[in-house]
Structure formats: C-alpha cells, structure tokens
Amino acid sequence: MKGRLQAVAVAALGIGTLMFAWVGAAAAALVTLRKGLTEGAFVVMWALLPATAVLVYGQDVGPLCMLLVTALAAWVLRNTRSWANAMAAAVAGGMASAAVLNRFGQDYLSGILEGVQPMLDQLQAQSNGSLPQILTGDIAAVIGSSTVLWSVLALMLARWWQAMLYNPGGFRDEMWSLRLPAGITVLLVAGMLLVSQSGEVYRFWGVMCLLPFIACGLSLLHGVVGRYKLGRTWLVVFYIALLLIGPLWAVLILTAIVDSWIDIRRRLPTAG
C-alpha cells in the first residue's frame, strides 16, 4: 500500500516462486481491492512477467492461472461487494483455464500425465484395477480446481490484509456471514450437472462448482461456533472428522445448499 514499486516487488517475487505464488496473487488482489482496476492491472501486468517465465522455463501454468483468476475475483468483489459473486467468478475463471488447456494444451497435459503415470499404475495395482483410467481432461480438471481453490484463498488473504489495515474485525464478520444466494446456487448446481454429463473428458470438472459450497459450509460452521462462543475445540473436532469421514463432505455441501435457501443463521436462536 506504500506505492507501486513495493506492490510490484511483492507480487512479482511471490509469483516467481511456486511455494509463495498465492501470496504474490494476494498482493495484486489487495491493490485491486483498495485502489481499483487501474492500479491493480498495473501490478498484475508486471507480475505476468515472472508468471510467464515460470510457464516457459518451469513448465507450470499454475501461477499464471492463479494470478489472472485472483485478479478477476478481486475486481468482482470490489465492484459487487459480494463474496458469492467473487467465488462464482473464480469458478468461471477455473473453468476457462481448464477449457483453454484442454483445447490448446494437450501436449502439456500429456506431459503431466506421463509424469504421474507410475504412481497411477501403482494405485491401480493396489486397487485391483477398480480405479478409472486417468485422462488428460482429468488433469485439466485438477488444474482448474486448484486454480479456483488457491485463487479464493489468495483473495481471502488479500481481504484479511485490507481489514487489518483499514477495518479491523471486518474480515471475520465477512467470513462468518458468507452465504450463497439461491440464484448462484442454482447456477453452480446446474453447471456441475451439465459438465459432468458432457462426456468422459469432463467427468471431474464439476468439482470446481462444489468449492464455493465447501467454503460457505465452513463459514456457517465458524459463524455458529463464534456466535455461541463454543470454543475452538468444536472446530478442531469437526476438521479431524472431516479428514477421517468422507461422507461428511457431502453433508457440508448439502448444508451450504440448504443455507442458500433458508438462511440457517437467521433462524438460529439469539446467543445467550
């Protein structure tokens, strides 16, 4: 926030290192959130240079996709003041990234598939051949889903920075109240069903549409725990259960879908 040079330095250095690429994307998003499209686009333009270098020399398209989708989501959040719209934009960006790779980057996807094929063969042997064969379209789905996930996390980091600087406590309130409107829920569910029924190549692309529901489900959990001051133990227990009990993910997603229609928080009794 001190100036263009500092913002460009943090964004470019972060994007240029794979481990901290999401921090670089968050820096560009922070500028967009606070100062608007013009200043944000200036930082993104310079951050595109290391992102392109990573793509050309490191053969990794992740930082480039993450930077562009995070910038798009930040612009939407600034203009609409809606996390639901921002996450929907991130899903659209992830879908677009996967579609572009699936259409023009078959050699790139095939190279990744060849690199992980020994591990896949080992998993197939352990499962007695019960796992489906992995296709290049599945690799594109993984890249698209990763783009959506890390873009939303980078945007959350940027929003947290902004709140610390200009509105302490505001980020927590936003996260506790995060909820999808019914219209966006219908669009996401329809998109998930549409792509999953579009052929074997697109069988896993619907995962990108599920990520906003997971975020909203976790937001509902944190909001309820915070509202009733239940303590962090409840959160720790839930996250451990989430890792150990697979069907709990479906419950979390269904709860977020139901919440988009009936607003569970509003129906809960007042704390105390």
Q: What is the pLDDT of residues 202-254, one digit of tens each?
A: 999 999 999 999 999 999 999 999 888 888 899 999 999 999 998 999 999 99
The 10s digit of each residue's pLDDT in 16-63 is: 887 889 999 999 999 999 999 999 999 999 999 999 999 998 889 999
What's the confidence (pLDDT) of residue 266? 87
Predicted confidence band of residue 4 (pLDDT cuts 50, 70, 90): confident
The 10s digit of each residue's pLDDT in 168-188 is: 888 998 998 899 999 999 999
What's the confidence (pLDDT) of residue 259? 94
Contacts with 266 (C-beta within 8 Å, 6 or more apart), sequence order: none
What's the confidence (pLDDT) of residue 117? 86
d(CA 169, CA 167): 6
> Does the domain made of 1-176 have the CATH classification 2.40.50?
no
As annotated, the residues of the chain forming the CATH 1.10.1760 domain(s) are: 1-176
The 10s digit of each residue's pLDDT in 64-92 is: 999 999 999 999 999 999 999 999 999 99
What's the confidence (pLDDT) of residue 2? 74
d(CA 59, CA 49): 14
What's the confidence (pLDDT) of residue 241? 94
Mean pLDDT of the chain: 91
Considering the chain, what percentage of its residues have pLDDT values greater than 90?
A: 72
What's the confidence (pLDDT) of residue 272? 61
The 10s digit of each residue's pLDDT in 111-138 is: 999 988 888 888 878 777 667 788 899 9
What's the confidence (pLDDT) of residue 229? 87
Give the pTM. 0.93
What average pLDDT does the segment 147-158 reach? 96
Among all chains, which residue has been given the structure tokens 């579009």?
198
